[in-house]
Structure 1
Amino acid sequence: MAEMKTADIRAMSADQMDDAVLNLKKERFNLRFQRATGQLENTSRLREARRDIARIKTIAAQKRDAKK
């Protein structure tokens, strides 16, 4: 999975964002195991996944605040 763009994230619904965060957390978990066992080839993907999660959560919070 490539880095998510903010425009793509803003187009998502709240449920889609929740699903995306859940999938990224699962991916990050698997990547950490691969790193621990020496099987991880693309080490930068861990950083990308972490930042994607933060990006989605930030945009979700902005949308929630805009509704108030």
Structure 2
Amino acid sequence: MKSTELRDLSDKELRTHVATQRRELFGLRLQHATGELENTAGMRTAKRDLARALTVARQRGVDPTQKNDG
């Protein structure tokens, strides 16, 4: 997701996106460790997407670890 698209998200949606990206990256790392991952470039993309989302969150002053209670 591009940084301009991330900036258009609400705070709640941004936190959800960060959590989803973290889960995806964890899954990719697990697949890589067990030898199931064929496309290792996906890990690089996932890392960059997570970093981009965290950067936007920190610029906004949003705590990405906060729960999405409302």
Q: Same fold (TM over 0.5)?
A: yes
TM-score range, shorter chain: 0.7 to 0.9
Measured against aligned partners, the alpha-carbon deviations of 1:20-67 in whole angstroms (never above 9, x if no partner) come to 110111111111111111110110111111111111111122223xxx
Identity in percent: 43
**Partner residue, 2:22:** 25
Please report the TM-score for the alignment, with normalisation by the length of structure 2: 0.79
**Partner residue, 2:31:** 34
Name the amino acid aligned to 1:55.
R
**Partner residue, 1:52:** 49
Matched, 1:13 2:26: no
Name the amino acid aligned to 2:31.
Q
Structure with the largest fraction of helix = 1
Unaligned segments of structure 2, at least 5 residues: 62-70
Where in structure 1 do 4 or more consecutive aligned residues deviate above 2 Å?
none
Matched pairs, number: 62
Please report the TM-score for the alignment, with normalisation by the length of structure 1: 0.81
